[in-house]
């Protein structure tokens, strides 16, 4: 089985890890957040002068996250329809899950990949949601 690390253009900033890696006919994607491409700005997050989160809009973060995920999946040579497995990390399942699930249903209405959703105490920076997935080529 051949493996390859993929480099993605027009994708949000990430840490010292590869955003995706192929293995056979599968592409494994690292966690993707809602950050704007080319900046550290997080759509839907309002902060005070000290950088503390004052409030956030999960709907705005979800739309940005899905846009980023689609870009990365397509840059890797796959497509939205080829996503077969999704893992979702949320920082506030109780207040955000209903909105997320409704939007998820719209974005994945036709493909319906397997999904696991877990609540975590925090995510990198002030994002409230992150997703990782597996797709076929």
Q: Which fold has domain 3-136?
A: 60s Ribosomal Protein L30; Chain: A; (3.30.1330)
pLDDT per residue as tens digits for the range 44-85: 898 888 888 888 999 999 999 999 999 999 988 999 999 999
Q: How many residues does the chain have?
A: 137
Report the percent of the chain where pLDDT is more than 70. 88
Spatial separation of the C-alpha atoms in residues 117 and 91, rounded to whole Å: 11
pLDDT class for 9, splitting at 50, 70, 90? low
Spatial separation of the C-alpha atoms in residues 68 and 55, rounded to whole Å: 22
The mean per-residue pLDDT over the stretch 12-18 comes to 56
Query: Cα-Cα-Cα-Cα dihedral of 51, 118, 68, 123, to 10°?
Result: 20
- Under DSSP, is residue 23 helix (H, G, I), strand (E, B) or coil? strand
CB of 10 within 8 A of CB of 71?
Answer: yes
- Looking at residue 73, its pLDDT comes to 93
Lowest mean pLDDT among 34-38, 84-88, 115-119: 34-38
């Amino acid at each position: 089985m051949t493996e390859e690390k993929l480099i993605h253009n027009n994708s949000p900033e990430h840490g010292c890890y590869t955003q995706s890696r192929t293995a056979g006919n599968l592409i494994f994607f690292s966690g993707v957040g809602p950050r704007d491409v080319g900046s550290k700005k997080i759509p839907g997050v309002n902060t005070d002068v000290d950088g503390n989160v004052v409030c956030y809009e999960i709907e705005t973060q979800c739309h940005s996250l899905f846009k980023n995920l689609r870009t990365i999946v397509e840059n890797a040579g796959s497509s939205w329809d080829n996503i077969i497995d999704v893992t979702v990390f949320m920082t506030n399942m109780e207040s955000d899950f209903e909105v997320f699930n409704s939007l998820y249903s719209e974005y994945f209405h036709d493909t319906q990949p397997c999904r696991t959703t877990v609540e975590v105490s925090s995510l990198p920076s002030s994002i409230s949601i992150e997703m990782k997935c597996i797709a076929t080529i």
